[in-house]
Amino acid sequence: MFKKFFLSFCWIVAVLISSAFTTPSTDVTNISAQRPVLRTIIIDPGHGLPDPGADGKNGTESYYALKIALKLGEQLKQNLPGINIVYTRTDEYLPDHLTDKDVANRRRAQIANENHGDLFISIHLNSGSDSYRREVIGHKTQTYYTYSGKGSKRKKIKHTRSVPIYKSYNLGTSAIGTETFIWAVGKNDSKKSFVGAGEESGEPDDSTSNLMFDTPTEKILASLRTKKYFNYSRMLAEYVQEEFAKQGRVDRGAKQRDNKGIWVLQATAMPSILVETGFVNNREEEDYLDSDKGQSEVAYAIMRAVLRYKESLENGAIPTTAQTDSTQQQVNALK
């Protein structure tokens, strides 16, 4: 009896000692679960007065982008309780009512970086080449003259004729669909300077690509973060396009760009995407984007992509550089 009690006592002591030197795995899981992967999302409605962006028949890119952006923010708040949404503008004017487009663009990036965004989403509308149609709307009488004879016998003869009156109609573009852009992998060095500088950066000056880091370690860490941002941006961009395709929208793909026109993707120290939600000068798409239904559906597609992105990060999905090879071939795809 004593032997059995002694053995039981020894087993209990062994368990207690083992527990004292072992960190329960559930603690790590709980810590991870308590740390949200998305705390702050920056939503950037492209353009803003006095910069209207591209023109449609009934409205401008600036106007439609703001409507979609505000709806996107509300949907994200509803589906991600506790999320912090920061807009680069909430009315029809450029950030802080700046009048210079370049200065305003610098301010957009500064807003994102100063608020330590985990994600930057810029909302835009595309524009394609217009086509025209001519239509006869009436006729008018035209007078013209001919001459006959020679020398003193030369005579000027008056004639009249009926000619059509035309009216030209702008039919807009036949281009249609959505596409989502990320900053080109081939230009990661220029983005790395902003990632290293953090909230102090925001200048779209190519000279910042020569930014000096205090230590080799800082340079390496900035490079690693830049690659991570590229891979995460690519993942989200593809999710956005997949969600649009589910709605029946024409999918023009997730692409890379490195031109200054969308340099905010370079100057934001976080995963960043720019969504072209449709063609403002395509009459059918403009009507859709001018409607509450269309704006809500566009916002919903982007919101769903963000939820998928968040879930992927929480499940440990880490897209690798190898997965970007096919995307890299699309650099300057629209040039």
Q: Which tens digit of pLDDT belongs to each residue from 111-149?
A: 999 999 999 999 999 998 766 667 777 889 989 888 888
Using DSSP, state whether 125 is helix, strand or coil. Answer: strand
pLDDT average, residue stretch 47-74? 96
Instruction: Write the CA distances from 21 to 12, 91, 97, integer angstroms.
Output: 15, 58, 60
pTM over 0.75, yes/no: no
Question: Average pLDDT, stretch 288-310?
Answer: 98
- Please say if the pLDDT value at position 223 is more than 60: no
- What is the overall mean pLDDT for the chain? 78
CATH code of 34-128+173-328, in short, is: 3.40.630.40
37, amino acid identity: V
> What are the phi and psi torsion angles at 16 (to 5°)?
-65, -40
Q: Which one, of 313, 319, 237, 234, lies nearest residue 37 by Cα?
A: 313
Neighbours of 235 (CB within 10 A): 24
**72 and 107 Cβ atoms separated by less than 8 Å:** no
Q: Which amino acid is at 241?
A: Q
pLDDT at residue 25 greater than cutoff 80: no
List, in order, residues 6 or more apart from 241 with CB less than 8 Å away.
178, 179, 180, 251, 252, 253, 254
**pLDDT range class, residue 332, cuts 50, 70, 90:** very low
Phi-psi region of 82 (alpha: psi -120 to 50; beta: other; left: phi over 0): left
pLDDT of residue 275 exceeding 80:
yes
Domain extent listing, the chain? 34-128+173-328, 131-171
